[in-house]
Amino acid sequence: MPENLADWLTYLESLHPNTIALGLERVGEVRQRLQLAPDFPVIMVGGTNGKGSVCAMLESVLYAAGYQVGCYTSPHLMHYNERVRIGKHAASDDELCASFEKIEQVRGDIPLTYFEFGTLAAMQLFIDHKVEVAILEVGLGGRLDSVNVFDADCAIVTSVDIDHTDYLGETREAIAYEKAGIFRPDRVAIFADSELPRAIADHAEAIGAVLWCAGVDFGFKLHQGQWDYRSLTCARSALPHPALRGAFQLNNASAVLAALDALQDRLPVSMAAIRRGLTEVQLAGRFQFVPGKPQLILDVAHNPHAAHSLAHNLQSMPPCPHTYAVFGMLKDKDIAGVVAALKPCIDTWLVAGLAVPRGASSAILAQVLAEAGVTAEVLEFASIADALLHACNAAGENDRIAAFGSFYTVADAMAAKKLRVV
């Protein structure tokens, strides 16, 4: 058996020939062998973008309400432990290793992927710690994602857009069908996007899920610097803005309150807990401002939908003399779509390769920028750290730097600035 967490993670990467292998048969069989049967409510969160924000707000509000909360998210930025939190604290190396060992002892010759192993380990720890509610973030899609081996008492789909087309399909409707796979009969399914795909509505109706849609069954209105929320079951007024920055965070916060409405009989939450949870929520890498001058903004935006949100947020900020982009992406992502969304916002592009097998080289990024007709200055660097150092030296104190394009980009920028994930 591996002796420490680093060795375990290396071992897990070697177990399955594919990094991604969607399907529930393997993980379902091992789940049965482990007898993992949560007796607490499970909230499952899927969607193209916004999953992390919704999970963080749910965790923060439920924790403020006094519940022992388990939260499983992915990917991590700096340390694997970030993926599994209990009571807002990351699981320890020893806890994760012990859970991995339990899985290894029962899986036999079933080849689990890295993510499947992690999903089972997280649920094992939640059960061991007797959490009162678990929040599970879908890794990819929904219908065939390993978290879907568990039943959601409430399922949230935050948004649907084009991403992961090799696995989920090339149209919004095809992708929506995969994401709707986390819905369950007779349980509330929340759709938080403004444009409802037919596949979401059809699947909910076909299985008998209770579909709540943003703008119809729940929603929000801005009101004198605060916001009001209403749903089919209740109304909440004069709410504070979430501590997470960005124009779309009220959409996410509304979905969170809708989920709490759906589960209010099992998980009652006071207005005081909602206010405290929204104002105290933290999530690294989502339009995150790093204190100091020049202003540094970190954002994991890695597809066109997220890039448009980042562009909107940048354009909503007060004007500044010069905006530098520290830009790195994976080569299997829609690099051109991200560039098109952010092209109007950037004065200088500092492109760098990512030190992972899927990372696009600086040359590839520069070529995409040229093909997109970018006339701004483009400089190539060997690493995100080098690009960020150049930006910090070149920028004036009133300029800003946006580091974006991937979780790896943000992680490298955080490492270069010696930042920690809170």
pTM listed for this prediction: 0.93
Please say whether the structural domain 288-416 has been given the CATH code 3.20.20.370.
Answer: no
Q: Is the pLDDT of residue 14 over 90?
A: no
> Using 50, 70 and 90 to split pLDDT, how confident is the model at 17?
low
Task: Determine the pLDDT at residue 19.
Answer: 65
> What is the average pLDDT across 160-185?
85
Looking at domain 5-280, its CATH architecture is 3-Layer(aba) Sandwich (3.40)
Q: Is the pLDDT of residue 161 over 70?
A: yes
DSSP string over 244-292 = S-STTHHHHHHHHHHHHHHTTTTS---HHHHHHHHHH---TTSSEEESS
Q: SS3 helix, strand, coil % of the chain, rounded to 5? A: 40, 20, 40
Task: Determine the pLDDT at residue 22.
Answer: 78
Token pair 């993926």 in the structure block, residue: 83
Task: Determine the pLDDT at residue 168.
Answer: 72
Within 10 Å of residue 390's Cβ, how many Cβ atoms?
18
Six-digit token pair at 65?
A: 């309400």
CA 284, chain centre distance (Å): 10
Q: Is the pLDDT of residue 220 over 80?
A: yes
Q: Is the pLDDT of residue 165 over 80?
A: no
Whether the CB-CB separation of 48 and 334 falls below 8 Å is answered with no
Whether the CB-CB separation of 7 and 97 falls below 8 Å is answered with no
Distances (CA, A) of 81 to 43, 94, 96, 149, 365: 20, 10, 8, 22, 31
Whether the CB-CB separation of 352 and 320 falls below 8 Å is answered with no
Q: Is the pLDDT of residue 16 over 80?
A: no
As annotated, the residues of the chain forming the CATH 3.40.1190.10 domain(s) are 5-280
Query: Cα(268)–Cα(255) distance, rounded to whole angstroms?
Result: 16
> Using 50, 70 and 90 to split pLDDT, how confident is the model at 223?
confident
As annotated, the residues of the chain forming the CATH 3.90.190.20 domain(s) are 288-416
Candidates 92, 397, 57; CA nearest to 248 is 57
Task: Determine the pLDDT at residue 164.
Answer: 67
